[in-house]
Amino acid sequence: MKTRTLIGLSSLFAAIAAPLSCSESQAALHEPREDVLQAGPSEWGPDDEIGAANRLDPALVRNAAKLVTTGKSYSLGIEVNSQTPAYGHRTFQVYMTQPENPAGKGIGTKGLTYNDEMIEGWMGVGTQLNGLGHVGIENVYYNGHKEQDILTIHGVKKLGLEKLPPLVTRGVLLDMAAHLGTDMIREGTPFGAADLEAVARQQGVTLQKGDIVLLHTGWLGLMGKDNKRFLEGCPGINREAARFLVSKGIVAIGADTWAVEVVPGEPGAGTFEVNQTLIAKNGIYVLENIRTSELARDKAYEFLFVLGHPKYTGTTQAIINPVALR
């Protein structure tokens, strides 16, 4: 078996710098913060670790459940394997073993055999959930948590995904590709607030507090066909659109792209500044590489969104398979 060494892990922690302090003032409810230089304090108080997921409640679930009229379900996750293209350093590999079956010999009087797999890889591969401990601003994360206070080699002590409840609420698909009259939107194409509003209006939907919003661009269709181009850029929301979504009080934003935000970014934008605005400043979750094609094909613009994610203690990302029901 080939042994792979994870290089540079220690350097990730050696590079921790003195973080910026968090603003002490609380912004108005759902009001986008203009200063991108500081991670946002939580409107739910200093002990909050789940951000926008605080908006979820039984009433949202009951109302979203009313959208299920056909009984059809949609798997929104993609298959993940060693060939799945992923950002930067990320890889994924499954190793299959039979630890108690040497030479294929069964155990006990009835010849029990079994397979036991081990995964070597990163959580940020395939369809993924980016939690509140994933993206920060100068080593400060959501609700003012400083990296030196929460980061350990075995995970984060605050903002871990084990704290996050199941995400069950109304899902809204915005078919950006159909709106622009194409099967796949080109990389570097930004979506502003007016674009999102126009698509919602065209589809007859209104974005509401507690929603999970998904964007269909067709970009995921490149995966497995042109992985190099797939990872070099993508269409997505710009900073204005991010602030607009914050103002709507959504829980999460996802897309069939690896970044959700536009890459290359708009002039003047920082590296993954949209993700900083959503996650670090406002506690909104980001869902990447969502398989939206079937929803778009069926014009399923509203649905019950269900996600029960893995609860690995101290993690900030998870490989997921959300489900849409309608």
E strands present in 20-134: 73-75, 92-97, 116-121, 128-130
**Could you give phi then psi for residue 46, rounded to 5 degrees?**
-70, -20
Burial (CB < 10 A; 0-12, 13-18, 19+), residue 103, is: exposed
pLDDT at 227: 98
Indicate the pLDDT class of residue 103, thresholds 50, 70 and 90: confident
Query: What integer is the mean pLDDT of 287-305?
Result: 98
pLDDT at 144: 96
Q: Are 77 and 127 in contact (CB under 8 A)?
A: yes
Indicate the pLDDT class of residue 73, thresholds 50, 70 and 90: very high
Both tokens of 313, joined, read 């203690």
Region of residue 159 (left: phi > 0; alpha: psi -120 to 50; beta: else): left
Class of domain 9-78+124-325: alpha beta
pLDDT at 178: 98
CA-based end-to-end distance of the chain = 45
Query: What integer is the mean pLDDT of 213-241?
Result: 98
pTM score, whole prediction: 0.88
Long-range contacts of 276-279 (CB under 8 A, 24+ apart): 276/36, 276/135, 276/136, 276/137, 277/32, 277/33, 277/36, 277/239, 277/242, 277/243, 277/246, 278/242, 278/245, 278/246, 278/253, 279/130, 279/131, 279/132, 279/134, 279/135, 279/142
pLDDT at 100: 86
Query: What integer is the mean pLDDT of 25-50?
Result: 67
Question: Is 208 or 27 the better-scoring residue by pLDDT?
Answer: 208
Distance of CA 259 to the CA centre of its chain: 9
Indicate the pLDDT class of residue 247, thresholds 50, 70 and 90: very high
**Using CA atoms, how far apart are residues 81 and 132, in angstroms rounded to an integer?**
26
Lowest mean pLDDT of 36-50, 159-173, 215-229, 272-286, name the range. 36-50
pLDDT at 30: 45
Both tokens of 194, joined, read 């007016």
pLDDT at 104: 76
Bridge partner list, 92: 121
Q: Are 184 and 218 in contact (CB under 8 A)?
A: yes
E strands present in 70-184: 73-75, 92-97, 116-121, 128-130, 140-141, 145-146, 151-152, 155-156, 167-175
What is the Cβ-side half-sphere exposure of residue 14, based on CA atoms within 13 angstroms?
4
**Could you give phi then psi for residue 172, rounded to 5 degrees?**
-130, 125
Both tokens of 168, joined, read 């069950």
Q: Are 213 and 172 in contact (CB under 8 A)?
A: yes
Does the pLDDT at position 14 exceed 50?
Answer: no
Q: Give the mean pLDDT of the chain.
A: 90
Indicate the pLDDT class of residue 131, thresholds 50, 70 and 90: very high
Tell me the percentage of the chain whose pLDDT exceeds 70.
89
Does the pLDDT at position 24 exceed 60?
Answer: no
Domain boundaries, the chain: 9-78+124-325
E strands present in 76-228: 92-97, 116-121, 128-130, 140-141, 145-146, 151-152, 155-156, 167-175, 190-191, 212-216
Instruction: List Cα–Cα distances, 267 to 177, 238, 258, 283, in angstroms.
Output: 23, 10, 20, 25
Does the pLDDT at position 102 exceed 60?
Answer: yes
pLDDT, tens digit (0-9, with 9 covering 90-100), for 105-121: 899 999 999 999 999 99
Lowest mean pLDDT of 34-38, 182-186, 243-247, name the range. 34-38
pLDDT at 189: 98
Query: What integer is the mean pLDDT of 26-54?
Result: 73
Tell me the percentage of the chain whose pLDDT exceeds 90.
84
Indicate the pLDDT class of residue 49, thresholds 50, 70 and 90: very high
